[in-house]
Amino acid sequence: MDLLEYQGKQLFGKHGLEVSDGKAVTTVEDAVAAANEIGYPVVVKAQVLMGGRGKAGGVKLASNEDEAREHATNILGLDIKGHITRTLWIEHASDIETEYYASVLLDRSAKKPLVMFSTEGGIEIETVAEETPEKLIKQHVDPLVGLSKEQALDIATQGNADEDVREGVADALVALYTVWIEEDASLAEINPLIVTPDRQVKALDAKVSLDDNASFRHPDHAELGDKANLDPIEVKAAEQDVVYVKLDGNIGILGNGAGLVMSTLDVVAQAGGEPANFLDAGGGSDAAKVTQAVEIILSNENVKAVLFNIFGGITRCDEVANGLIAAFKSLKPTVPFVVRLDGTNDVEGRRILEEANLPNVQAAKTMNEAAEMVVAAAKGNS
């Protein structure tokens, strides 16, 4: 789960990172009241999970109450690359002398946390890595030991942070690592990490992604994220405990197992199609779960054809077949379906579908054949 900037900053402050005073608001009047309370100048920031807010007009400096009201009025409701601004973060403006970059993430290849630091803050870190890689310091952390102050100081020194703020940078790195560990984050990033004229080190921005698999340890995380901009189909799927991600294409995908579903997406794309979703029905899918999954897929009006790609293990192919029949009876879909069943009870599953003679349902023997068939069906139904 990705957090909005202000939510990330609240977690930063909770774990000792220095951040500017601010307040999250949802109305113009509350924005003005917050600005008056915090004290001018303030920055009015759109809270959306999308970069380029400044260029889109979503970040403005206000020097007085009239400007705060004007900016809040203009930014609330602003569409930034498909994300509607419903929340503003009103923050006391910071004087900036230097901009750094800092992050903690998981290096999956090394199976260790990775701390990154650069004095080239305020720009995309990919640009730094490509154009001036020597300015991006990377160090792994022993997860059994954690990030010590000594290692953090070494990172700040190697990164050529100004000598008089290296202690402050090291403290910020240790606090950022604490956020990453304690909040079960997959990414904790500050860009920029600023140095003020009075040599304070502060987080001016926050990008935090939390690991949903650890949500049971953090009941307080349930209210985080940009719920106002969540896709309603994804919300419905989450409520029904279905693993679903909406994509931009027109071919609905259902498989059992994340690896199989991802492979199916790739094969459909190679066949010239555009997947409309990722949906993992999981192991042990019965008729009710299959009906539920079909309903979620068809909730997307862009879907022109659907591919079922099932490899039976715990999931029995005859149960999937019965589920599809039940779905056709209750939902009466009008788009074509291509079904590939292989594995446990696949012969029985194919027999059940053949005898049911469902309209607009074709059987495929291989994944490649299924992909080609569903792409052709989607084109024919467009």
pLDDT value of position 284: 60
SS3 label, residue 246: strand
Active-site hit among 5, 183, 189, 319: 189
pLDDT value of position 126: 82
pLDDT value of position 317: 85
pLDDT value of position 286: 63
Domains of the chain: 21-92 (3.30.1490.20), 98-223 (3.30.470.20), 232-380 (3.40.50.261)
Active-site hit among 6, 101, 177, 244: 101
pLDDT value of position 380: 86
pLDDT value of position 282: 72
Q: Which residues contact 173 (CB under 8 A, 6 or more apart)?
A: 102, 104, 115, 117, 147, 152, 155, 156
HSE at residue 348, side-chain half, CA atoms within 13 A, is 10
pLDDT value of position 153: 98
For the entire predicted model, the pTM comes to: 0.73
Residue tagged 């609330």 (tokens): 76
pLDDT value of position 360: 87
pLDDT value of position 238: 78
- Tell me the angle at which helices 317-331 and 287-298 cross, rounded to the nearest 10 degrees: 50
* Neighbouring-strand partners of residue 24: 89
Which pair of structure tokens corresponds to residue 68? 């705060």
The segments of the chain whose pLDDT lies below 50 read: none
pLDDT tens, 96-125? 999 999 999 999 999 999 999 999 887 778
Q: Where are the beta strands (DSSP E) in 20-170?
A: 22-25, 42-46, 59-62, 79-80, 83-84, 88-92, 98-107, 112-118, 136-140
pLDDT value of position 206: 94
DSSP 8-state code for residue 325: H
Q: What is the DSSP string of 151-211?
A: HHHHHHHHTT--GGGHHHHHHHHHHHHHHHHHTTEEEEEEEEEEE-TT--EEE---EEEE-
Under a CB-based contact definition with an 8 Å cutoff, are residues 107 and 23 in contact?
Answer: no
Is 101 designated active site?
Answer: yes
